[in-house]
């Protein structure tokens, strides 16, 4: 068998898993996650861009807001299937059908509880009454719409013989998708895998329709159970962005999608999701509902690709695969974060300093690393700005250094005088005026260095704790077509501002020097 034949055989064996996103219905109905119709439209656009096969927009019979949302979404979103939820009641079905009128690819999703607990205490119906209602409702809907999904609410706690009977009746009545929800997150992977395997093997017509899994996360098993359902033969997964939903939530879309992608060889299944849009879509939902995800949330949490441990950072610097099983760019993060803190090692600090343009000898690195460890005792995370401040404190000589300065604001115009030590060790002094002390200071620095920077933004705040706290100045400047950010730290905020300005000027100097060295090497 040649390579092309092998690849073709692999493609044929791959199962295509449909992603049914219910963020706008099951997710939105959870406490604190409600959205207005315009917000739902914004989210629906993102879900369509993400590549969801089905978007469930709401429960039209439950509220006017859901009906309005479906109308808005239906008029604009044309490619994914648009579904709405309905009880097995003719009035609900009629309301849902009207809501779907604008949809290019409509689906009616009807449900009825099937478990003995629900039949007795919620529905007060017998097995036969449930069976009759299911058949009656699907047949009625089939006279108006072709794409019908039927869900056996609390299906995983339903007697298996009755579950098979209901599913068989729903298929015969015209349902094209059969969903088995783990409504209260009660099942286990082994159980749900067996449920789907036996449905396909024993229920007439089950192999001719799409079987779907809808798992809740009450025991933290939603993703694991959904994966097991796929192993059992499910070809549609019902999930939400960030896993939002009733109680502990639903199967998280980003987690199930990446599990199938990363472990593709194991599951032999994949989705049509554009995984590079997972993080942007997650962040959009967080902004819309005001509910952030925890930092250690898989795939989309801010720590998902962050490393602080020295052992992990050292491994990452040698080979990314040592501690990352997927690339951050593949899910929408810009890059891995090497977080510097008390657990970080010397190699990570050196790598970050090099990225900032500082190339140190061993003895110099020893001094900076010692200061870094001392700073870690005062704060949890050491930023790039902190490292640059450490370099200033240790007297990095590669660039302009501030020797002294005087700033006055007595009259209508402020004035500033600065004395610098240039890269060759010569003293340079200049005086300038400005609209305020900082403006005058920056004008004097520009005159002394010959570097022209256009200020875009400027902020000052505190760094550190207690008596060790220092002022930090942060600025954003433009030089030519490029934008740069600089920081400076000192007990005096005016001095910190000067150091921030020089931070940028010195970085430009290092870049020019590096470019000059590259040209010399190229011509050597």
Determine the Cα–Cα distance for residues 494 and 477; give it in Å rounded to an integer: 17
- 216 has binding-site annotation: yes
Closest CA to 400 of 268, 238, 313, 510: 510
- Lookup: tokens for 299: 């795939």
Residue whose token pair is 């003293």? 427
Helices (H), 297-415: 310-318, 346-355, 362-376, 384-393
CB within 8 Å of 323: residues ≥ 6 apart = 307, 312, 315, 316
Q: Within 13 Å, how many C-alpha atoms sit on residue 403's CB side?
A: 15
170-197 as b/e: b if 16+ CB within 10 A: bbebbbbbbbbbbbbbbbebeebbebbe
The beta-strand segments (E) located in 219-288 are: 236-239, 269-270
- 214 has binding-site annotation: yes
Bridge partners (DSSP) listed for residue 337: 306
Q: Is 238 helix (H, G, I), strand (E, B) or coil?
A: strand
Determine the Cα–Cα distance for residues 352 and 305; give it in Å rounded to an integer: 16
- 461 has binding-site annotation: no
CB within 8 Å of 437: residues ≥ 6 apart = 407, 408, 409, 414, 416, 494
Annotated binding site for Mn(2+): 26, 214, 216, 250
Annotated binding site: 26, 214, 216, 250
């Amino acid at each position: 068998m040649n390579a092309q034949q092998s690849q073709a055989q692999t493609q044929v064996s791959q199962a295509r898993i449909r992603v049914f996103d219910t963020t706008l219905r099951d997710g939105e109905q959870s406490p604190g996650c409600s959205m207005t119709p315009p917000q739902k439209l914004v989210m629906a656009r993102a879900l369509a861009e993400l590549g969801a096969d089905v978007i469930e927009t709401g429960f039209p019979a439950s509220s006017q807001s859901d009906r309005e949302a479906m109308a808005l979404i239906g008029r604009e979103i044309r490619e994914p299937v648009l579904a709405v939820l309905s009880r097995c009641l003719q009035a609900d079905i009629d309301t849902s059908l009207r809501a779907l009128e604008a949809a290019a690819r409509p689906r009616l999703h009807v449900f009825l509880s099937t478990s003995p607990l629900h039949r007795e205490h919620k529905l007060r119906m017998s097995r036969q009454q449930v069976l009759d209602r299911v058949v009656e409702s699907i047949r009625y809907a089939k006279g108006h719409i072709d794409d019908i999904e039927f869900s056996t609410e609390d299906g995983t706690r339903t007697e298996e013989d009755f579950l098979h009977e209901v599913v068989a009746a729903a298929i015969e009545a015209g349902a094209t998708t059969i969903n088995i929800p783990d409504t209260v997150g009660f099942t286990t992977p082994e159980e749900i895998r067996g449920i789907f395997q036996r449905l396909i093997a024993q229920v007439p017509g089950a192999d001719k329709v799409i079987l779907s899994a809808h798992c809740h996360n009450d025991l933290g098993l939603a993703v694991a159970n959904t994966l097991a359902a796929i192993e059992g033969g499910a070809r549609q997964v019902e999930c939400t962005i960030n896993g939002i939903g009733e109680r502990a939530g639903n199967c998280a879309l980003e987690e199930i999608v990446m599990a199938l992608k990363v472990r593709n060889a194991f599951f032999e299944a994949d989705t049509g999701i554009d995984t590079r849009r997972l993080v942007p879509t997650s962040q959009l939902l967080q902004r819309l509902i005001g509910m952030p995800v925890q930092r250690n949330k898989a795939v989309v949490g801010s720590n998902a690709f962050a490393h602080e441990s020295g052992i992990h950072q050292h491994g990452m610097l040698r080979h990314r695969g040592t501690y990352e099983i997927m690339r951050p760019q593949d899910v929408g993060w810009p890059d891995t974060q090497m977080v510097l803190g008390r657990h970080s090692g010397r190699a990570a600090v050196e790598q970050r300093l090099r990225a900032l343009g500082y190339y140190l000898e061993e003895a110099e690195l020893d001094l900076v690393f010692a200061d870094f460890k001392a700073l870690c005792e005062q704060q949890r995370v050491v930023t790039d700005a902190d490292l640059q401040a450490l370099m200033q404190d240790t007297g990095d000589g590669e660039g302009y250094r501030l020797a002294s300065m005087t700033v006055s604001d007595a009259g209508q115009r402020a004035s500033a005088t600065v004395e610098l030590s240039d890269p060759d060790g010569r003293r340079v002094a200049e005086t300038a005026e400005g609209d305020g002390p900082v403006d005058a200071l920056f004008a004097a620095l520009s005159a002394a260095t010959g570097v022209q920077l256009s200020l875009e933004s400027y902020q000052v705040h505190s760094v550190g704790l207690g008596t060790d706290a220092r002022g930090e100045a942060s600025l954003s400047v433009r030089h030519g077509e490029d934008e740069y950010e600089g920081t400076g730290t000192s007990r005096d905020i005016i001095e910190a501002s000067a150091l921030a300005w020089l931070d940028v000027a010195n970085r430009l100097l290092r870049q020019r020097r590096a470019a000059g060295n590259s040209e010399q090497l190229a011509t050597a």
